[in-house]
Amino acid sequence: MNWFYYLAPLFLQTLIWVPTRLFFLFFGHLEIRGLENLKAVGRDGHGVIFAVNHSGELDAVIVPAALPFLSRLMPMFYTSREQSFYKNSGWRQIFYGGLLFKLWGAHPVKIGLMNYELSLQTHVEIINHGNSVLIFPEGSTTKDGNLKKGKGGVTYLAYKTGVPIVPIYIQGLFKLNIKEWFSRRRQVSITFGKPIAAVELFPSGQPFLDASRDDFLNAAQIVMARIAALS
């Protein structure tokens, strides 16, 4: 991947950190929990996978804002849908999935290939370069506020790269509307859980030499259970 797409997110996410943090603190009474669970991750120059419940469009913004300023885990890179997915999404098609997304650190997953190696090859490369990736294991935002089953991509990334998964639970952003937000009626919290080592995700205690799609799906439910426990 072009070095420019590594540096641009670092610059933009650092530039916006202060106003974004203040935005959530003032309007959402932001409470951040579990930062002590991040002390051991990323110190060896390796990346980390952040696995987050998907309750709304601000989920991807609040995670980097909740990390300390100039955290070693920044910049944050993301998984997103391809640009064509947003073509009937109104104003979102201007920003989502294209160049602006890449500048922010979001790179599309190739959907429908039924092949994790092909669909997530860019994100494996990002992690292997020592960077962090944020992924929503549910694949889409919740419709009723409840967690859905996880998809196997999150555990494939851990299996392929050997880096830990940090479960995160965000509360207070589901069905957020402008009136509630600017009247400061919402209480928003984000909780970072204890890292899950790649070897914890498989019953044998060791990664499979030839893990199947079902193995990754089953392991993803362990991750979802850890996210649910943070609620």
Q: What is the mean pLDDT of each run of 10 residues along the chain (231 residues)?
A: 82 95 97 95 86 93 95 91 62 63 83 78 92 93 91 93 96 93 95 93 60 85 97 89
Nearest Cα residue to 29 out of 181, 193, 230: 181
Minimal CA–CA distance to 96: which of 76, 81, 112? 81
Q: If we measure between CA atoms, which residue out of 169, 174, 170 comes closest to residue 224?
A: 169
Question: What's the pLDDT at 83?
Answer: 60
Per-residue tokens: 112: 């429908």
Q: How far is the C-alpha of 107 from the C-alpha of 4, rounded, in Å?
A: 13
Q: Are 163 and 58 in contact (CB under 8 A)?
A: no
What is the DSSP-derived secondary structure letter of residue 186? -
Give the pLDDT score at 214.
84
